[in-house]
Chains A and B, each alone.
Chain A
């Protein structure tokens, strides 16, 4: 999800791992401000459709023939469950909270594992949620932040940190596919100290998505409203 700063390195690592099917979902074009961190693209790609450029670059690198599928859309309330259902694991590299929560909900409802990643300035967080769902993204961050949560448009994103986070997301995705993923471990990376820390997240007893008292049983678009990142 998202051929951006996280999605590009993740896609390279997953394609190079020899996956027979890699689905890329995005609807943006390449912008000059993307180039410092979206490593599938270069100057000549500015203005091009991201998916087209990404597909070309992945095949040039040796992606398994016919393995790259393109879905020219964002993850939206009306397609989220279908997209989640169509794959074995979702690698969620979106740049806004609304989409992160939407992906979390859709993947949980479809029992699809998901690897979430995010990066702002020097910090990145990565973690994997199992098909059975607990702990889930809503156990960690209950609901879409409104207004005063940090976002990359204000804080900026540092290319190498995003690259490392994307690679770690691919690592977790491959471990999900092969077994042995550290579900529930929230990894935080600091590009200033090069410290990678892990804390265990426990299921939230009153989680709206995955607890016995869950209240989210379907995708309701009113639940997902937050600004996206324009950086």
Chain B
């Protein structure tokens, strides 16, 4: 199940500047694991021992995975995953 993952600016240092990358997985968790393989360090920026970090939101399309099945949210392929971290600055 290949999906497109939109990478927020603060995490693009891990993707060589790419703002969108492809990744595969049947669930959001599996996609994050593949992101970690391709872009080491990504998992720790998104997750801690409790799950998705509390200042990070992950969307499948327009749906926040918190209101789906969290990290076990199933993917059909072709979706767009958006990572929205809290940012402060201005």
Contact = CB atoms under 8 A, between A and B. Distances in A.
Contact of A155 (B10, B57, B64, B90): B10
B70 interface: no
A5 B9 CA distance: 18
Interface stretch (A50-58, A106-114, A137-145): A137-145
A204 B66 contact: yes
Contacts of B55: 97, 141-143, 145, 149
B37 interface: no
B89 A229 contact: yes
A191 to B, nearest CB: 9
Interface string B32-57: 00000000000001000000011101
Contacts of A155: 9-10, 89
Contact of B87 (A4, A150, A192): A150
B85 interface: yes
A186 interface: yes
Contacts of B66: 204
A35 interface: no
Interface residues of B, number: 22
B64 A190 contact: no
B71 interface: no
Nearest to B19: A192
A100 B88 contact: yes
A186 B63 CA distance: 12
Contacts of A4: 90
Interface in A154-206: 155, 157, 162, 165-166, 186, 188, 190, 192-193, 197, 199-202, 204
Given A123-B87, A199-B84, 18 more contacts: A2-B90, A4-B90, A6-B90, A7-B90, A93-B90, A97-B55, A97-B86, A118-B87, A118-B89, A120-B9, A141-B55, A142-B54, A148-B45, A149-B88, A152-B87, A153-B89, A165-B90, A231-B89
Interface of A: 2, 4-7, 37, 93-97, 100, 117-123, 125, 140-143, 145, 148-153, 155, 157, 162, 165-166, 186, 188, 190, 192-193, 197, 199-202, 204, 229, 231
Interface of B: 8-10, 19, 45, 53-55, 57, 59, 62, 64, 66-67, 82, 84-90
